[in-house]
Amino acid sequence: MSQTLIQKYNVAGPRYTSYPTVPYWDLDTFSLSEWKASLKRSFEESNSSEGISLYIHLPFCESLCTFCGCHKHITKRHEVESPYINAVIKEWNLYCELLNEKPKIKELHLGGGTPTFFSPEHLNFLITELLKVSDLAEDYEFSFEGHPNNTTEEHLQTLFNLGFRRVSFGVQDYNIKVQIAIHRIQPFENVKRVTDLARKIGYTSVGHDIIFGLPFQTEADVIETINKTQALMPDRIAFYSYAHVPWIKGNGQRGFNDDDLPTADSKRKQYETGKQNLEDAGYVEIGMDHFALKTDSLYQAMENETLHRNFMGYTASKTQAMIGLGVSSISDSWYGFAQNVKSIEQYYNLIEENTIPVFKGHILNSEDLVIRKHILNLMCNFKTSWTNNNLTFDDLPNVLIKLKEFELDGLLQFESKQVTVTDKGKPFIRNICMAFDLLLQRKKPETKLFSMTI
Give residue-wise pLDDT tens across range 164-205: 999 999 999 999 999 999 989 999 999 999 999 999 999 999
Residue 427, CA distances (Å) to 151, 374, 422, 442 in order: 33, 18, 10, 25
Q: Which of 271, 275, 179, 191 is nearest to 234 (CA)?
A: 191
Q: Residue 247's pLDDT is what?
A: 45
pLDDT tens, residue by residue, 405-421 = 999 999 999 998 999 99
Domains with residue ranges and CATH for the chain: 1-20+366-454 (1.10.10.920), 26-363 (3.80.30.20)
Q: Out of 19-23, 82-86, 403-407, 443-447, pick the least confident.
A: 443-447
Q: Residue 243's pLDDT is what?
A: 76
Q: Indicate if the pLDDT at residue 244 is higher than 70.
A: no
Q: Residue 8's pLDDT is what?
A: 87
Cβ atoms within 10 A of the Cβ of 413, count? 14
pLDDT (average), residues 69-96: 93
Q: Residue 64's pLDDT is what?
A: 82
Q: Indicate if the pLDDT at residue 384 is higher than 70.
A: yes
3 state SS of 382: coil
User: What percent of the chain has a predicted confidence (pLDDT) above 70?
Assistant: 95
Q: Which of 126, 91, 124 is nearest to 328 (CA)?
A: 91
φ, ψ dihedrals at 242, nearest 5°: -65, 125
Element (H, E) at 311: none
Rounded-to-integer distance, Cα 189 and Cα 241, Å = 24
Q: Indicate if the pLDDT at residue 279 is higher than 90.
A: yes
Taking the CA atoms of 74, 78, 84 and 85 in sequence, report the sign of the dihedral they define: positive
Q: Residue 366's pLDDT is what?
A: 96
Q: How many CA atoms lie within 13 A of 205 on its CB side?
A: 26
Alpha helices in 24-119 (DSSP H): 32-46, 81-98
Mean pLDDT rounded to a whole number for the chain: 92
Contact indicator for 236, 187 with CB cutoff of 8 Å: no
pLDDT tens, residue by residue, 84-121 = 999 999 999 999 999 989 999 999 999 999 999 999 99
Spell out where 262-408 has E strands: 284-286, 290-292, 308-310, 313-315, 322-325, 330-332, 336-340, 358-363, 383-385
pLDDT (average), residues 7-21: 88
Q: Residue 103's pLDDT is what?
A: 97
pLDDT tens, residue by residue, 306-360 = 999 988 889 988 899 999 999 999 999 999 999 999 999 999 999 999 999 999 9
User: At 44, is the pLDDT very low, low, confident or very high (cuts 50, 70, 90)?
Assistant: very high
φ, ψ dihedrals at 366, nearest 5°: -65, -40
Rounded-to-integer distance, Cα 277 and Cα 189, Å = 22
pLDDT (average), residues 128-133: 97
